Structure 1
Amino acid sequence: MNSTTRTTNSELNRQRQRLETLVQPTPRALGLSQVFRSLGDRLLNFFTGTEELRIWQSTRNGHQVWFAHDPITNRTRSFYSEQDVRQWLDNRYYE
């Protein structure tokens, strides 16, 4: 009975690993999603003609990161705190 239990547990572990690989995105899939997101953002900006600054927040390696994209200069900057974003905005305004 022990050999049957071991075989069953081993098979269950293999099935679990196969299922986990289906659920977890691959680095290539992440890259493609970023490409499509960027393409969508550019198309939206092209059709709407917006030149407004865009600011958003994301999580990287468990830390909150702020991003700011300036469509006039076509540059995106990253910041590690909201205060840093505010300071950059103030400096940008007075330049």
Structure 2
Amino acid sequence: MDTTRNPNRDLQQQRQRLEALVQPTLGSRPIHRPIAHGLGQALKQLGDRAMRFFTGQNELRIWQRTRNGQPLWFAHDPVTNRTRSFYSEQDVRTWLDQRYYE
């Protein structure tokens, strides 16, 4: 019997469990009430913070959303705890290059 543990595998499993808590279930009907949206956002933020705490994640996080039919990019730096928004993928890449060489 192998008694050694793989800490990376354990962290990956914890991360998957946490992501499952904050990800919407496929086929579920969205609730469009402001209170439900606010609660969903709060739970997502709580899940994101818990995931960072358990994984010790200090890497940049980049994601894309659509607002008013237009794509909008976001980048969060957990070291500075700042989130920036961009109107194009190229803007994100330019910011990343500038940030890297600072």
TM-score (norm 2): 0.68
Aligned match of 2:101:
94
- Within a 5 Å distance, the mapping from 1:4-15 to structure 2 comes to none
Structure 2: stretches of 5+ with no match in the other structure: 1-28
Q: Sequence identity of aligned pairs in percent?
A: 68
- Specify which of 27, 36, 42 is matched with residue 29 of structure 1: 36
Q: 1 or 2, which has the higher helix percentage?
A: 1
Aligned match of 2:61:
54
TM-score (norm 1): 0.73
> Radius of gyration: which is bigger?
1
Considering Cα pairs closer than 8 Å and 6+ residues apart, tell me whether 1 or 2 has the greater RCO.
2
CA distance in 1, matches of 2:85, 2:40: 20
Query: How large is the RMSD of aligned CA atoms in angstroms?
Result: 1.5
For these two proteins, the number of residue pairs brought into alignment is: 74
Q: Which 4+ residue blocks in structure 1 deviate beyond 6 angstroms?
A: none
- The structural deviation recorded for 1:24 is 4.8
